[in-house]
Structure 1
Amino acid sequence: MRLFAVALILAFGTPSLAEILVPARAIRAKEIIGAQDLVPKSADVPGAVSHADEVIGKEARVALYPGRPIRFSDIGPPAVVDRNDVVSLIFNRGGLTIIAEGRAMGRGATGEIIRVMNLTSRSTVTGRIRSDGSIEVH
């Protein structure tokens, strides 16, 4: 087995290390990542983030620890709506527009679908989060 590994190294050379980004400090979940929070590291980690523009301004979905690689599944767009926020529900069909207040049952970023409870009727609906924090009901 050892001879096989040596033969592979001689045939293909030593594996080259790529530059990835790792946290410079512990980053808690739901925290926005800034340029000062990242440092480069030479390592070969498939699926790890390697460009700062892919991370800066994103929100950590899980806790990120110093020196450990950041994967794309660990980050996402910043949330616009938090759980229990009072939001505007907008229902728009044809020429009819209905606006009501609702309470967010989950947390999400622009474009995500969440459940919201209508405060008047107490019924639960689903809708897509708009950039202004209102919910477009389906």
Structure 2
Amino acid sequence: MRAFPLLLLLAWPASAETVVAARTVRALSILGPEDLALAPQDMPGALAELSQALGQEARVTLYAGRPVRAADLGPPAIIDRNQLVPLSYRLGALEIRAEGRALSRGGVGDEIRVMNLSSRTTVSGRIAEDGAVHVGPGS
């Protein structure tokens, strides 16, 4: 009989926490500690730790009290739409550089479309930490 209360404690489900928006946050805003809170609920697909969301950019509007999903967030944008960006293509010893115009906004590691200003050709590339867009194999 003494083991019965102990078994009940062991069988009790662990309470999980979910990251929720503490207030309504507009899309394209960088998330700070005042924007987020932990709620004592377990929501599938929602973030479980505040550190996963802090410093990230909201890709959609986050409404107060609603769970924050990983798909709702992304790295902060370093390139804006219509911004002039350096394009870089590298294959072995060959390197080609050109100037382009970003057709969308994005953060480090995002793939965006860029129009090469010399040829007016639209290419896709990945944004590097220095703000350049790398196109071609391995980009």
Q: SS where residue 117 of structure 1 aligns?
A: strand
Contact 1:23–1:66 under 8 Å retained in 2: yes
Deviation at 1:29, TM superposition (A): 0.7
Contact 2:38–2:50 under 8 Å retained in 1: no
Structure 2 gaps of 5+ residues are 1-10
Of 21, 35, 58, 1:23 maps to 21
Tell me, in whole angstroms, the C-alpha distance in 1 between the residues paired with 2:116 and 2:54. Answer: 35
Stretch deviating more after TM superposition (16-25 or 41-50): 16-25
Supply the RMSD in Å over aligned alpha carbons: 1.8
Deviation at 1:102, TM superposition (A): 0.3
Residue 118 (structure 1) aligned with residue 116 (structure 2): yes
Q: Percent identity?
A: 51
Aligned to 2:59: 61
Tell me, in whole angstroms, the C-alpha distance in 1 between the residues paired with 2:121 and 2:112. Answer: 14
Tell me, in whole angstroms, the C-alpha distance in 2 between the residues paired with 1:16 and 1:128. Answer: 41
- What does the per-residue CA deviation read over 1:20-50, in whole Å, with 9 as the maximum and x for residues that have no partner? 2211111111111111211221123112112
Aligned to 2:3: none
Of 100, 103, 108, 1:105 maps to 103
Q: Residues 38-117 of structure 1 correspond to what in structure 2 (within 5 A)?
A: 38-117=36-115
Deviation at 1:16, TM superposition (A): 5.9
- What does the per-residue CA deviation read over 1:38-76, in whole Å, with 9 as the maximum and x for residues that have no partner? 122112311211211111011111100111111111111
Contact 2:30–2:55 under 8 Å retained in 1: yes
Deviation at 1:94, TM superposition (A): 2.7
Aligned to 1:9: none
Contact 2:37–2:50 under 8 Å retained in 1: no
Contact 1:16–1:44 under 8 Å retained in 2: no
Q: Residues 6-17 of structure 1 correspond to what in structure 2 (within 5 A)?
A: 17=15
Q: SS where residue 40 of structure 2 aligns?
A: strand
Deviation at 1:14, TM superposition (A): 7.9
Tell me, in whole angstroms, the C-alpha distance in 1 between the residues paired with 2:79 and 2:53. Answer: 20
Structure 1 gaps of 5+ residues are 1-12
